[in-house]
Each structure stands twice: as C-alpha cells, then as structure tokens.
C-alpha cells in the first residue's frame, strides 16, 4: 500500500514575514540557543498555552537546520515508507500584514516545482491562491496547466474570505478540470492576518453587508465551515477538502461540552458542522483531513475511530500530518502517524491514507 500524506508544508523562514513573531521575538529566535530554549519550554506546556513563539521557533529550527524546501521534504520523507507520496502546500504570507518576506510566493512556487522535478513520483504540489491578488486566477491556472501543479491551496486566516468574487472563476475552473482544492478550516491561530481589517475584508462577499466586527471575529467568519456553503451550493461537484476537520480546539469542545444536535449552527462544534456537511451527501466531492488535529492529542485518535464508523464520513476523510507546522514535528511525526495507524487498524488506515486520497486527487 502506498501512503499519501495529503497535508504537508516545506516553506522556509525566507517565505515567512519579518514580523511573524513580532520584531523583537523574531530577531531573538534567529539565534539557535534561543530557539532551543523556547522549543524546550513550550513543548512542556499544554497545547492551548503554546502560541506563535513555538510555531515560529519550529519554522526557524527546521528551516535553518535543513536549509531549503528540498531539505525539509527529505526530512518529512524520512519518517515514512520510501514510496510515500506527499501533497505539499505552499503558504502565501506576503499579505498577512506582518512585514516583508525575503522570497515571494512566486519564488516559493518555483522552488516547489523544482522539488517536484527532483521527486516526480513523490511530490504533489498545490498552488497557493489569495483572492486579493489581481492575477490570482491567471497565475494559478498557469501553475496547473504549464507547470504541473495538481491542486489549489487556500488559507482564509491570512485575511482572504474564500468566497471573494475574484476566486469564483477558480472554483469554476476546478469543477471543469476536476482540480482538488485544499483549504484551512480550523479557528485562526498563530498564522493569521495581523493588521486592522480593511474595508474589503469587512464586506460580506455573499450579501454585500458591512460587518462591524473585530479582526478575530472576521477571520473566524472567513474560516468557519459555513463560509463554504455558498461556494459548494453553487458548485456541488467541486472537489474540496476542509483541512484539519475543524481543529483540535473544536475536537476538545466536542468531547467536553454538552451539545444538542438541534442547537443553532453558530454554536456547533466545527467538527460537527463539517461532519454534517459531508453526511448530508449534498456535496459529492467534499472531504476533510485530520492534519494537525489528530496529532494534537492521543485521545483524538479514538474519537476519529468512532467518527469513521459512519460510512459516509469514512469515504471522505484523508490522512495528513501538517508537517512541519505541528509542534514537536521533528520528534513526533513517525510516532504519531504510527499511532493513528495502530489505533485505526489496517483496513481503516488504507481507507484514509490510500483509497480516499486517490479519489480526492482524481486518480481512483
């Protein structure tokens, strides 16, 4: 069985903005000794107390240690069987209002194409698409048609609502060409837009209503599973993966909090929202993945096993790890992937790590 890890990253510190962790912390974290101390301390804190320092220290540690997208890919590859394939998702962080990046998203895409050329049987590159860029449609289609990119990556917490009119032609193209879309679908955390919301961000793209919300509320609205309903209702055959299955915080809330299946949608766990969307069978190619989330807590793997008892969900869940953005990634990648496989058993593992990914990628 050839495993497909549907959610990995190989971007480097050169692709992250200068103020990703703040001007002072960002400068200090470039010192190896400081990174080691931060990572040691943060790894001994509970998940909800870790934050942007941990994330940035991890990015810098891996980036400096392994030097390039190829070096980072070779690291993640070393944790899996030699034939494992990896969907690699670039991150366009130039518009998150946290300073300049040293290497643009165009350069990041060029490097990713070169990585794919080095490992043509293992690397599956997606193209990062931000609807605030005037040439997003043309460039994304060019990457797919001329440079062999296989899918489209969205990251709404950067400040881009997924239903912006500028992105709709891309969704239509994706339907026509059966191109898979991967989008971040857990609550905004450390990697998010940092500035004051712009007027464009405040206008609801579906209703035209001006939203008088603060930044966190707006970014949460952009990322909520509900944001994809108008997109999918207009294109029910669109192949889309709502990455992270709602996120670790919502899995925790699902387990801890009293919850009524008839409660208002706004109060539902995002895990429950995504599960309901998939189980409705209104959207024939809607998927979700377990990246980051199933790696965040050992207990979540047991919840995953229960969720997969539903046949409709079982056909729509993808394996992904979110390497290397998961804290402890370097130490835990193999251990956590093995844990998921061991708890689920070989039949379910084959379903989420082989069969479903091939269907999602249009290879089945």
Give the pLDDT confidence score for residue 41 in this predicted structure: 57
Query: What pLDDT does residue 16 have?
Result: 86
Helix (H) / strand (E) element for 312: namely helix 311-314
288 and 232 Cβ atoms separated by less than 8 Å:
no
pLDDT at residue 331 in the model: 46
Please spell the DSSP secondary structure of 145-157, one letter per residue.
HHH---EEEE-GG
pLDDT at 286: 98
What is the distance between the alpha carbons of residues 238 and 172, in angstroms, rounded to a whole number?
Answer: 8
**Rounded Cα distance, 44 and 50, in Å:** 9
Give the C-alpha distances (Å, rounded to integers) separating 120 from 56, 81, 106: 30, 16, 20
- Check which CATH number belongs to the domain holding 113 and give it: 3.20.20.140
d(CA 90, CA 154): 10
Cis amide linkage into residue 324, ω under 30° from 0: yes
> Any bridge partners for residue 8, and if so which?
88, 323
pLDDT by residue, tens only, the chain of 364 residues:
999 999 999 999 889 887 775 554 454 455 666 656 655 655 554 444 445 555 556 666 776 678 799 999 999 999 999 999 999 999 999 999 999 999 999 999 999 999 999 999 999 999 999 999 999 999 999 999 999 999 999 999 999 999 999 999 999 999 999 999 999 999 998 789 999 999 999 999 999 999 999 999 999 999 999 999 999 999 999 999 999 999 999 998 888 876 665 555 556 889 999 999 999 999 999 999 999 899 888 889 999 999 999 999 999 999 999 998 765 444 478 888 999 999 999 999 999 999 999 999 999 8
Cβ atoms of 358 and 364 within 8 Å: the answer is: yes
Residue 97 per-residue DSSP state = S
Q: Enumerate the β-bridge partners of residue 151.
A: 126
pLDDT at 24: 41
- How far is the C-alpha of 279 from the C-alpha of 286, rounded, in Å? 10
Beta-sheet strand order (sheet of 4-8): 4-8, 85-88, 123-128, 151-154, 181-186, 240-246, 286-289, 317-318
Q: How far apart are CA 23 and CA 26, in angstroms?
A: 5
The predicted model scores a pTM of 0.90
Q: How deeply is 186 buried, as exposed, middle or buried, from its count of CB atoms within 10 A (0-12, 13-18, 19+)?
A: buried
Residue range of the domain that includes 258: 4-360
Predicted confidence (pLDDT) per residue in 180-194, tens digit:
999 999 999 878 999
- How many domains, the chain? 1
């Amino acid at each position: 069985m050839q495993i497909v890890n549907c959610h990995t990253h190989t971007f480097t510190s050169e692709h992250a903005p200068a103020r990703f962790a703040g001007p002072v912390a960002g400068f200090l974290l470039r010192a190896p000794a400081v990174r080691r101390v931060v990572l040691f301390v943060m790894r001994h804190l509970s998940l909800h107390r870790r934050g942007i320092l941990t994330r940035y220290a991890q990015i810098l540690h891996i980036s400096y240690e392994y030097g390039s997208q190829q070096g980072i890919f070779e690291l993640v590859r070393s944790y899996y069987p030699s034939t494992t394939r990896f969907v690699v998702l670039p991150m366009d962080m130039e518009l998150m209002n946290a300073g300049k990046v040293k290497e643009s998203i165009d350069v990041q895409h060029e490097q990713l194409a070169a990585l794919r050329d080095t490992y043509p049987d293992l690397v599956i590159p997606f193209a990062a698409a931000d609807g605030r860029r005037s040439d997003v449609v043309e460039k994304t289609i060019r990457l797919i048609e001329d440079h062999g990119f296989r899918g489209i990556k969205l990251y709404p917490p950067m400040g881009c609502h997924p239903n912006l009119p500028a992105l709709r032609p891309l969704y239509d193209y994706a339907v026509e060409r059966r191109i898979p879309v991967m989008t971040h679908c857990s609550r905004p955390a450390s990697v998010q837009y940092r500035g004051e919301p712009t007027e464009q961000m405040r206008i609801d793209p579906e209703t035209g209503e001006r939203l008088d919300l603060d930044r966190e509320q707006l970014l949460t609205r952009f990322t909520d599973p509900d944001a994809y309903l108008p997109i999918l209702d207009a294109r029910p055959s669109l192949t889309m993966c709502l990455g992270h299955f709602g996120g670790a915080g919502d899995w925790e809330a699902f387990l801890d909090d009293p919850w009524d299946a008839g409660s208002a949608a706004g109060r539902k766990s995002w895990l429950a929202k995504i599960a309901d969307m998939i189980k409705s069978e209104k959207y024939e190619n809607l998927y979700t993945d377990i990246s980051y989330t199933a790696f965040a807590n050992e207990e979540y793997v047991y919840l995953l096993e229960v969720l997969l008892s539903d046949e409709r969900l079982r056909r729509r869940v993808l394996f992904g790890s979110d390497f290397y953005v998961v804290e402890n990634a370097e130490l835990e990648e193999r251990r956590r992937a093995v844990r998921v496989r061991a708890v689920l058993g070989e039949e379910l593992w084959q379903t989420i790590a082989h069969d479903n990914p091939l269907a999602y990628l249009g290879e089945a």
